[in-house]
Structure 1
Amino acid sequence: MADLDAQQLLREAQHRTGLSDWADEGFPERFALSVAHINGIAMDAAGRAAATENALWLLTDRLKFFEDRKRLPLAEEVIDRPMFVSGEPRSGTTLMHALLAVDPGARALRFWEVMHPAPPPGTLEGTDPRIATADAEWREINAKMPRWLHCHPYNDMLGDGLPEDERSWAFDFRVMTPTAWWRVPMQNLSFGLPSDPPAQYRIHKAMLQALQYRRPLRHWVLKGFHTTRLDAFFDAYPDASLVWLHRDPVMVAASSTMMMADIMDGVVGKIDLVKEARAHVERVRWSIGNTMAHPLANDPRIQHVRYRDFVTDPIGVIRAYYAFADRSLSPEAEAAMRRYLAENKGDRHGKFHYSTQVLVDAGYDIAALNREFAPFRERFGVEIEQR
């Protein structure tokens, strides 16, 4: 099968929808970079066919999403004092987000919404058919990547699961995540595509506005890797609060490496663990360097929390975050959170095994890494984990 043709795909998406506005002059060029990345991967005809349909899915979603924004007063929706969870990967952020999301007074992004974001759910009556569609897609994902459930059991929520905020940028082709590209035999691409944080947050906010439109008003609880984009984040959400979980950077790198190995095993097969470990150590170095240098890391809208403290007393930490965000944790919300903890054990789909040995095998001296991250540990009170 021939390489994907970016211009032909753009024209086909316009033909399928009868729409033509990409809402960004630079979008066609950026999409072409993503297509070039796909064309650089050795895939068979079935893989290229899957990539073609995947690209068309995202392109048509984009056209319909921005058309909704032109025909409906979505921009008038006020996103009031949203609560965000952030931190390094594998730092308890998903569990904290899951607990915040069971508050009856809260609203969280759901996979069925971000995977198929048009039209706004509030414009439909009855059961939204996208829920069943996304449930089926998640059953396909879980069948293809069964080991992912070991490190991320939340995938059993299917279409009602909780995406990271970055997933809202899939149709902007700034990230190529497993939950958008699982049918295509390639590794995800989180770095290397053009980044424009202000533009990305405009899309994120537009999605929240669309999902809030004509639905009961609740406060938003969200999760994403916002700590490396704090300027644009607070420009977009000046009244937001953010709880920032901090964990041992060495363990973050080890756990992230093995998580990606579990995800990719079902997509491309075994991956080079040495290469993967080195990539994660470098990413952690970059992120921790940003944390230590960025002046907004001290912003009063941010509450810093140790991973150990959250794991020890999740409800206590959440209660403190609500107070920090000037909100009240209702008895109903606390009861729902305690029920979630009792009914959703982290190892319900099997144990996730990881240790620093994967970094040792990649040539790292763990003691040297611990010395390297000592200033970070001292600043945030993060202890060395042993595993």
Structure 2
Amino acid sequence: MTMLAKLLSKGFQLADGLVPEAAFPVVAAKSLVQTAGVAPAPDAVEGLERLLGAIKNESALSLFGRLSLRWDFLRLLRNAQLIEDAHAANPALAAAPVTAPLFILGLPRSGTSFLHNLMAEDPGSQVPRNWQMIYPAPRPAGFDPQGDKRVSRVDKQLDLFNGLAPGFRELHPIYADSPQECSEITAHVFQSLRFDSTHRVPSYFEWLETRGHDDAFRFHKKFLQFLQNGVPSRWVLKCPDHTFTLDAILRTYPDARFVILHRDPIAVLGSVAHLTQVLRKPFLRGIDAGEIGAQVAARWTQGANLLLQFDQRADVPASRKLHMQYEEFTAAPLAALARIYAHFGEELTEPALRAMDRRIQAKPRGGYGRHAPYRLEAFKLSVPALQTAFSPYVRQYCQAAR
């Protein structure tokens, strides 16, 4: 049984009320660092302190939330130390560049995960994998996930989480060897918007917005260099939160390239709010659907405006950006991929094309099921108000799809 499996098993017992909640307080940053036996950078310690303070004061943690927090944060601290130690022992890691990484941008639920999964099928590309966030290690060419114990362990952990958060895998079908979002990398230095999805931490969120993301993406680059193991790779990276970290991305990767998928925000916000609710359920008590709705609407109104501003940046020429409608991509994924590769001057090889096609046949629409639209009213969201808020974005990017 894995460490997390034991933790979850213990959590189920605790949920039955056998042990009082007060027996598992939110621990202090200093205690976690000492237990982990690591020496994190001051910026990571500050992030950890801010995050723990916000969780303690603003999140009503469930018993599982208290137990999992300790396991998760110790893992992040130890993994980050592993990356730093590897760089110290082998300067060749930092000497190998991360050249022109491709970032997939877009509002959540806009096909970005589907595109990331398809591009991960190209043997000439690299993506961060889910299991690599738990057990950081390079993924060699010809890697067989079926025979790897680390992959098996993480798949079991994901199965257990899906049991705690019913519907999670239908909303976000991921497995151990699936591509993972970059917010899981930056979480290792506790400067990640990932924590805002699973916890209620408004003060941490505000601190991170003010502080910026440069330190997080310096670590992000070290993580990629560790994974590529001295061999420069063509990285394909994805996270909706990249919309809010573009300045740091461009300072870290000045030659970065971008695919931006667009979809009508009214069609996705109910799903975004529902996914946030599902993600928070195992960790928190007393979730407020209206508060989630207001948070999601405000956040992605800001995100849509940032995408509009990004289009005007003189330091990112049109040759390094490709806009695509969600409807164009999902209607003919292989044709859309051919357009992406051609735009960036990359070769879409026959082996890559065949692998992508097999993926599409096995998991049409990326494995996402069809369902009735989520009711915005359930999250106290007004359609007319949202239409007004998103009208500049919709006029610019979504009119052609209607």
The TM-score, its normalising length taken from structure 1, stands at: 0.84
Which one of 29, 45, 48 corresponds to residue 6 of structure 1? 29
Which one of 63, 66, 69 corresponds to residue 51 of structure 1? 69
Matches of 1:287 and 1:370, distance apart in 2: 15
Superposed, 1:362-373 pairs within 5 Å as 362-364=380-382, 366-373=383-390
Residue aligning to 1:62: 80
* Contact 2:94 2:222 (C-alpha < 8 Å) held by counterparts: yes
* Contact 1:277 1:359 (C-alpha < 8 Å) held by counterparts: no
1:70 positional shift? 0.6
Report the AA paired with residue 141 of structure 1: F
Matches of 2:188 and 2:36, distance apart in 1: 12
Residues 64-111 of structure 1, C-alpha deviations (whole Å, 9 max, x = no match)? 221111111210112233222111111100001111111122211101
Which one of 330, 333, 353 corresponds to residue 334 of structure 1? 353
* Contact 1:177 1:188 (C-alpha < 8 Å) held by counterparts: no
Residue aligning to 2:317: 299
Percent identity over the alignment is 25
Residue aligning to 2:166: 146
- Describe the SS at the equivalent of 2:237: strand
- Give the 3 Å change call, closer, same or farther, for CA 338–188 of structure 1 in structure 2: farther
Gaps of 5+ in 2: 1-22
Residue aligning to 1:88: 107
1:260 positional shift? 1.9
- Describe the SS at the equivalent of 2:313: helix
Residues 29-51 of structure 1, C-alpha deviations (whole Å, 9 max, x = no match)? 32111221232234466643432
Residues 285-322 of structure 1, C-alpha deviations (whole Å, 9 max, x = no match)? 11122223343286321111111211222111111110
Work out whether 1:380 is the aligned partner of 2:397: yes
Superposed, 1:244-263 pairs within 5 Å as 244-263=260-279
- Describe the SS at the equivalent of 2:159: helix
Matches of 1:50 and 1:304, distance apart in 2: 39
1:168 positional shift? 0.4
* Contact 1:86 1:242 (C-alpha < 8 Å) held by counterparts: yes
How large is the Cα RMSD of the aligned pairs? Answer: 3.0
Which one of 246, 251, 261 corresponds to residue 235 of structure 1? 251
Matches of 1:120 and 1:102, distance apart in 2: 17
* Contact 2:32 2:73 (C-alpha < 8 Å) held by counterparts: yes
Report the AA paired with residue 115 of structure 1: I
Superposed, 1:101-116 pairs within 5 Å as 101-116=120-135
Residues 147-188 of structure 1, C-alpha deviations (whole Å, 9 max, x = no match)? 0122222x2xx210111111101111123647x998xxx558
- Describe the SS at the equivalent of 1:159: coil
Which one of 331, 336, 354 corresponds to residue 312 of structure 1? 331
* Contact 1:370 1:384 (C-alpha < 8 Å) held by counterparts: no
- Give the 3 Å change call, closer, same or farther, for CA 359–293 of structure 1 in structure 2: farther
- Describe the SS at the equivalent of 1:191: helix
* Contact 2:260 2:321 (C-alpha < 8 Å) held by counterparts: yes
Report the AA paired with residue 150 of structure 1: E
Matches of 2:298 and 2:122, distance apart in 1: 37
Matches of 1:205 and 1:132, distance apart in 2: 27
Matches of 2:176 and 2:295, distance apart in 1: 30
Matches of 2:367 and 2:26, distance apart in 1: 42
- Describe the SS at the equivalent of 1:279: helix
Residue aligning to 1:132: 152
- Give the 3 Å change call, closer, same or farther, for CA 151–53 of structure 1 in structure 2: closer
- Give the 3 Å change call, closer, same or farther, for CA 132–368 of structure 1 in structure 2: closer
- Describe the SS at the equivalent of 1:221: strand
Matches of 1:57 and 1:383, distance apart in 2: 46
Matches of 1:136 and 1:260, distance apart in 2: 22
- Describe the SS at the equivalent of 2:42: coil
More deviation, 261-270/138-147 = 261-270
Aligned residue pairs: how many? 366
* Contact 1:176 1:188 (C-alpha < 8 Å) held by counterparts: no
1:121 positional shift? 5.7
Matches of 1:3 and 1:360, distance apart in 2: 31
- Give the 3 Å change call, closer, same or farther, for CA 328–270 of structure 1 in structure 2: farther
* Contact 1:146 1:266 (C-alpha < 8 Å) held by counterparts: no
Residue aligning to 1:224: 239
Matches of 1:169 and 1:310, distance apart in 2: 28
* Contact 2:260 2:323 (C-alpha < 8 Å) held by counterparts: yes
Gaps of 5+ in 1: none
